[in-house]
Amino acid sequence: MQRNLNVKADRPSPEREFEASVLHGLSRRPRAIPAKFLYDAQGSALFDAICELPEYYLTRTEISILRECAPQIAALAGPARQLIEFGSGSSVKTRLLLDSMEKVSAYVPIDISGEHLEATCRRLRGDYPSLTVVPVCADYMELQDLPWVPGTGAPSRLGFFPGSTIGNLEPADARAFLQKARQLLGDEGALVLGADLKKDPGMLHAAYNDSAGVTAAFSLNLLRRMNRELNANFDIDGFEHEAFYNGGAGRIEIYIRSLRPQTVAVAGQRFFFDAGERVHTEYSYKYDLGDIDSLAAQGGFARVRTWTDPDRLFSVHYLVAA
């Protein structure tokens, strides 16, 4: 597996980057740690569990849309494409495209969560023995180019960015991501984008505050990860998960909240948390079609097709390089 090979040479190692981002994020006000650090092996497994929750309509709705529209996506894309997935996770939705597309020349899953990516690729190679799978463990925002795939000529690339992962990016970063994808996919490139739609705030609130507490465990795993990797001493019971819909900004906001005054050591530094003090960990922006059009245009794409479910909960878009 390629690890950080296609990122700038002066990037710090993933371990150093995690430590530096945490120390910076806990020192600044308001406190914030980038969402990508939620995904270590445990975080990825917990995200898979979230996808199974009754309240988390996003995954099952996107899968139902993809089941319907995968043949149309395959027809739009044409044969012999390289399929490039950004934030591939367990590559579950990918299988719907692989089963519909003609002669995929290679599948390139990109994910920051290395162990999980390796396990996913082992399963995929078992189930699709003739598929060339070229995993890249990297931050997709930092990628300079895509790997060369042996035995292929000039690649025609189809990008795949499902899961409304784009919603985790603030507008400027979402724009930068699309510009990066446009550059990586090339002039003949296209991108299949899954985006969650604006809807009843009650339904959104339930999706990020499930009754089984799996989303809370996913959030609080960030504290456990700091304990494991940064020699931190967070008392997990001293913190709680907080998620709510900010209608003005059109986004779910997620925080880890201190339940009492406490001091925590992280990587040799000490941080005081007041009762009620929060660390921001994640946004999940919600869109309407106008938002998608302007984001696509800013990223160098044009929207040519959109599919939604009958209740218009979720959307899948086919964007082409403009």
Residue 256 has phi, psi (to 5 degrees) of: -110, 130
Q: Which tokens in the block code for residue 284? A: 């999940």
Enumerate residues 6+ apart whose C-beta is below 8 A from 273.
Answer: 258, 261, 262, 263, 264
Q: Are strands 278-285 and 31-32 parallel, antiparallel or unpaired?
A: parallel
Segment near ligand SAM (CB under 6 A); pick from 160-168, 201-209, 234-242, 297-305? 160-168
Work out whether 285 is an interface residue with ligand SAM (CB under 6 A). Answer: no
Residue 95, strand partner residues? none
Q: Which of 204, 229, 230, 207 is nearest to 218 (CA)?
A: 207
CA atoms of 25 and 32, how far apart (whole Å): 5
Task: Return the residue of 33, 57, 89, 135 that touches ligand SAM, per CB under 6 A.
Answer: 89
Q: Does 162 bind ligand SAM (CB under 6 A)?
A: yes
Nearer to ligand SAM, 173 or 188 (CB): 173
From 153, 151, 157, select the one nearest 85 (Cα to Cα).
157
CA angle 58, 54, 124 (to 5 degrees): 60
140 binds ligand SAM (CB under 6 A): yes
Q: How far is the CB of 182 from ligand SAM (least distance, A)?
A: 17
Closest CA to 1 of 183, 125, 163: 125
Task: Determine, following the binding rule CB under 6 A, whether residue 88 of this chain makes contact with ligand SAM.
Answer: yes
Quick check: 61 binds ligand SAM (CB under 6 A)? Answer: no
**284 near ligand SAM, judged by CB under 6 A:** no
Among 39, 107, 255, 283, binds ligand SAM (CB under 6 A): 39
Q: Is 225 in the site for ligand SAM (CB under 6 A)?
A: no
Stretch that binds ligand SAM, among 83-91, 148-156, 198-206, 261-269 (CB under 6 A): 83-91
Stretch of 84-92, 144-152, 237-245, 313-321 contacting ligand SAM, by CB under 6 A? 84-92
Sign of CA dihedral 209, 210, 216, 219: negative
Nearer to ligand SAM, 111 or 242 (CB): 111
| Residue 159 near ligand SAM by CB under 6 A | no
Residues in touch with ligand SAM (CB under 6 A): 36, 39, 44, 47, 87-89, 93, 110-113, 139-141, 162-163, 165
